[in-house]
Amino acid sequence: MSTRSAIYPGSFDPVTFGHLDVIARAAHIFETVIVAVATGEGKHPLFSLPDRIAMLKESTSDNPAVEVVALSGLLVDFAAERGVFTMIRGLRAVSDFEFEFQMALMNRKLEARLETVFLTPKEDYTYLSSRIVKEVARLGGNVSPFVPEPAARMLRKILKTSCPPPLHDSSA
């Protein structure tokens, strides 16, 4: 069982500066941080799994301690497969607490060796979520202050193809 590695699971739809801040903090504590990107079918992600992985890989390429992989199935099965039982989760505010607490306890019920370590991002990122970033992008806002360049680029691309601009009414 490795205590030198930790798994940071999430949807990362898309990765934000909040996630990157948590990854950097985890990499100060652990030798390897395995970012496990959940397929998240139930959540109907905007980005495909390969796209979410590609954005994360590009955004963490400067840190050799970070590994980005796909996560399908139960987190506890993945943990057992890798022999890594330390999970990282981010806590932004009290609003995250209830869900995260429930998840941590459920995971420990499923696998007694599993421990969850909560990390808090820099204050500037506590209001950031993938959901709010997608909302800003959909409404045409600039997302560069919130997400790394690969994610900003992919957001522009996907929203251009999924929401074409309204057609001009030539009779007006």
**Other CB atoms within 10 Å distance of the CB of residue 114:** 20
The catalytic position among 5, 11, 59, 130 is 130
Quickly tell me which residue has 């505010």 as its tokens.
93
CB of 23 to ligand ADP, least distance (A): 9
The catalytic position among 43, 113, 138, 156 is 43
Instruction: Name the burial class of residue 22, with classes exposed (0-12), middle (13-18) and buried (19+) by CB atoms within 10 angstroms of its CB.
Output: buried
Instruction: Tell me if residue 28 is catalytic.
Output: no
Instruction: Tell me if residue 92 is catalytic.
Output: yes
CB of 114 to ligand ADP, least distance (A): 15
Cβ–Cβ under 8 Å, residues 147 and 15: yes
Give the nearer residue to ligand ADP in terms of CB position, either 32 or 160: 32
The catalytic position among 5, 19, 25, 134 is 19
23-58 burial, b if ≥16 CB within 10 A, otherwise e? bbbbbeebebbbbbbbebeeeebbbebebbbebbbb
**Other CB atoms within 10 Å distance of the CB of residue 94:** 7
CB of 127 to ligand ADP, least distance (A): 7
Instruction: Tell me if residue 2 is catalytic.
Output: no
Contact set with ligand ADP (CB under 6 A): 10-12, 16, 18-19, 22, 89-90, 92, 96, 121, 125, 128-130
Give the nearer residue to ligand ADP in terms of CB position, either 74 or 160: 74
Instruction: Tell me if residue 130 is catalytic.
Output: yes
Q: Rounded to whole angstroms, how far apart are CA atoms 40 and 76? A: 16
Nearest residue to ligand ADP by CB is 18
Cβ–Cβ under 8 Å, residues 18 and 128: yes
CB of 29 to ligand ADP, least distance (A): 15
Residues designated catalytic: 19, 43, 92, 130
